[in-house]
């Protein structure tokens, strides 16, 4: 079982954007003249690409007139392999607001992002119609699931569904994809699939969402950081060759070992001092740092396990209402924890580029306001990045 090279995986994530709509004559065509993937997979577009269902989906492309995925059959060294590549898409902005993120059971029997799962379920029948005849009773087959942006989230759910239903080998390749589930999903997803190749750019905001307690897979593994970008940039999310840096450009390698790897799990304890808050900046580095400081504070105060348990089962409160209530209680417990919370909130305000970063109270109302400002800043960048590619 061979893995796709970074270059071929990136080409697959890129070419699927060509089949959103047919030509004026109603024909779908793929231009793969300069792509290595033409020597790896064949795509039969005689009946068009995989299309979505009509009406009611959270993704605007899921209707009968747009293509959202390609299924290819392997040739040469990839004979008896198949590929499913899913493109990125616009998403209803309400589903990118953290207060509206719901959880639902996924195909690996853990809780996943309800919006992503709803989108996947709406395309499942179309995929099953094509893949069932190819994979039923073919446990030796390998399926490569590929996706960029929100297509990466759907590729992740597709990979779990394929593994659970057809018991075949499944590899996953994502570029600039968001988080799909929490710890239980990430652990089971990692243990189920044969291999996961998660690629990011340093300034891409989309892999930062949804925020903790959602986590990336592979759990406690590595991501392939394809550039040295810093800050947060909408342009860093681009896939195509004409984007800067463009995942198609930065993944231009025939070896995964040749690419830069970094840990995808932040185990560092982080305690932020209020007087140092102006060192923060609007960047993916500080988004990670602030998440680490929040987790550290919850663990230090003995609240982490309870918060995670309530997040997993859902409550009448949104997750950030729950967090704000918890931080208010933590701050009341001791002056030490109050100062630790003050440092966290001060850094969050600087991260969110607020003109006033003074923390004068630690009430639920103020803490929730700080969370809102931070979430709005990050999610706005992520929405803009997602909209720019679809």
Neighbouring CB atoms inside 10 A of 37's CB total 24
pLDDT band at 59 (very low <50, low <70, confident <90, very high): very low
Does 217 fall in a domain? yes
Sole residue written with tokens 């109270």? 361
Site of tokens 């893995």: 3
Q: Between 249 and 100, whose confidence is greater?
A: 249
* Inside any domain, residue 294: yes
- Residue that is written with structure tokens 């060509």 in the block: 18
Tell me, yes or no, whether 1 lies in a domain.
no
Q: Vertex 159, ends 120 and 61: CA angle to 5°? A: 30
Report whether pLDDT(98) > 50.
Answer: no
Please give the model's pTM, rounded to 2 decimal places: 0.91
Question: Which range (171-175, 198-202, 217-221, 224-228) has the least confidence?
Answer: 217-221
Mean pLDDT of the region 339-368: 96
Within-domain flag for 184: yes
**Which of 57-61, 134-138, 189-193 is least confident?**
57-61
Query: Can you give the residue range of the structural domain that contains 216?
Result: 6-265
For residue 190 the two structure tokens come to 């990692």
Length of the chain measured in residues:
390
- Asked if 96 and 163 sit in the same domain, the reply is yes
Judge whether residue 62 has pLDDT over 60.
no
Q: Are 36 and 107 contained in the same domain?
A: yes
Residue 213 phi, psi (nearest 5): -90, 10
Summarize pLDDT for 266-279 with one digit per residue, the tens: 667 999 999 999 99
Residue 316 has pLDDT above 70, yes or no: no
Is residue 57 pLDDT above 80, yes or no?
no
- pLDDT for 55 beyond 70: no
Q: Judge if 26 and 146 occupy the same domain.
A: yes
CATH of the domain at 200: 3.40.50.1820
Residues 91 and 125 in one domain: yes
Q: Is the pLDDT of residue 66 over 70?
A: no
Q: How many CA atoms within 13 Å lie on the side-chain side of 219? A: 16
Confirm whether 146 is domain-assigned. yes
Does residue 387 fall inside a structural domain?
no
- Whether 260 contacts 283, CB under 8 Å: no
Residue 389 resides in a domain: no
Residues 98 and 35 grouped into a single domain: yes
Q: Are both 126 and 248 inside the same structural domain? A: yes
Q: How many domains, in total, are found in the chain?
A: 2
The pLDDT of residue 264 is 63
Q: With helix as H, strand as E and coil as C, how does the chain read?
A: CCCCCHHHHHHHHHHHHHHCCCCCCCCCCCCCCCCHHHHCEECCCCCCCEECCCCCCCECCCCCCCEEEEEEEECHHHCCEEEEEECCCCECHHHHCHHHCCEEECCCCCEEEHHHHHHHHHHHHHHHHHHHHHHCCCCCCEEEEEEECHHHHHHHHHHHHHHHHHCCEEEEEEECCCCCECHHHHHHHHHHCCEEEEEECCCCCHHHCCCCCCECCCCCCEEEECCCCCCCCHHHHCCCCCCCCCHHHHCCCCCCCCCCEEECCCCCCCCCCHHHHHHCCCCHHHHHHHHHHHHHHHHHCCCHHHHHHHHHHCCCCCHHHHHHHHHHHHHHHCHHHHHHHHHHHHHHHHHCCCCCCCCCCCCHHHHHHHHHHHHHHHHHHHHHHHHHHC
Q: Which of 66, 58, 61 has the alpha carbon at shortest distance from 20? A: 66
Q: How far apart are CA 72 and CA 334, in angstroms?
A: 60
pLDDT at 133: 94
């Amino acid at each position: 079982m061979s893995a796709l090279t970074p270059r071929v995986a990136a080409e697959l994530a890129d070419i699927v954007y060509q089949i959103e709509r047919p030509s004026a004559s109603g024909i779908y065509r793929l231009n793969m003249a300069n792509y290595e993937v033409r020597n790896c997979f064949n795509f039969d577009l005689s009946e068009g690409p995989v299309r979505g269902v009509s009406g009611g989906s959270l993704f605007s492309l899921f209707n009968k007139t747009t293509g959202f995925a390609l299924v290819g059959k392997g040739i040469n060294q990839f004979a008896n392999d198949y590929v499913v590549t899913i493109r990125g898409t616009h998403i209803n902005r309400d589903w990118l607001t953290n207060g509206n993120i719901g959880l639902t059971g996924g195909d690996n029997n853990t809780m996943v992002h309800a919006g992503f799962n709803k989108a996947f379920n709406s395309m499942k029948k179309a995929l099953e119609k094509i893949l069932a005849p190819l994979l039923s009773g073919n446990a030796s087959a390998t399926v490569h699931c590929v996706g960029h942006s929100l297509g990466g989230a759907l590729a992740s759910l597709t990979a779990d569904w394929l593994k659970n239903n057809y018991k075949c080998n499944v590899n996953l390749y994502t570029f600039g994809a968001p988080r799909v589930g929490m710890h239980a999903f990430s652990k089971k997803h990692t243990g189920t699939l044969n291999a996961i190749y998660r690629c990011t750019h340093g300034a891409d905001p989309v892999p930062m969402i949804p925020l903790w307690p959602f986590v990336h897979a592979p759990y406690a593994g590595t991501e392939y950081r394809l550039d040295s970008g810093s800050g947060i940039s909408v342009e860093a999310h681009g896939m195509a060759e004409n984007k800067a840096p463009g995942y198609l450009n930065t993944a231009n390698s025939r070896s995964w070992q040749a690419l830069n790897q970094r840990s995808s799990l932040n185990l560092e304890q982080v305690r932020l001092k209020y007087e140092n808050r102006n060192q923060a900046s609007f960047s993916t580095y500080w988004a990670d740092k602030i998440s680490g400081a929040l987790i550290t504070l919850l663990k230090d105060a003995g609240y982490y396990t309870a918060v995670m348990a309530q997040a997993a089962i859902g409550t009448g409160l949104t997750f950030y209402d729950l967090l704000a209530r918890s931080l208010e209680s933590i701050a009341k417990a001791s002056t030490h924890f109050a100062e630790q919370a003050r440092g966290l909130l001060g850094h969050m305000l600087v991260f969110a580029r607020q003109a006033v970063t003074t923390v004068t109270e630690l009430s639920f109302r103020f803490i929730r306001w700080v969370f809102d400002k931070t979430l709005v800043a990050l999610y706005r960048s992520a929405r803009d990045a997602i909209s720019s590619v679809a």
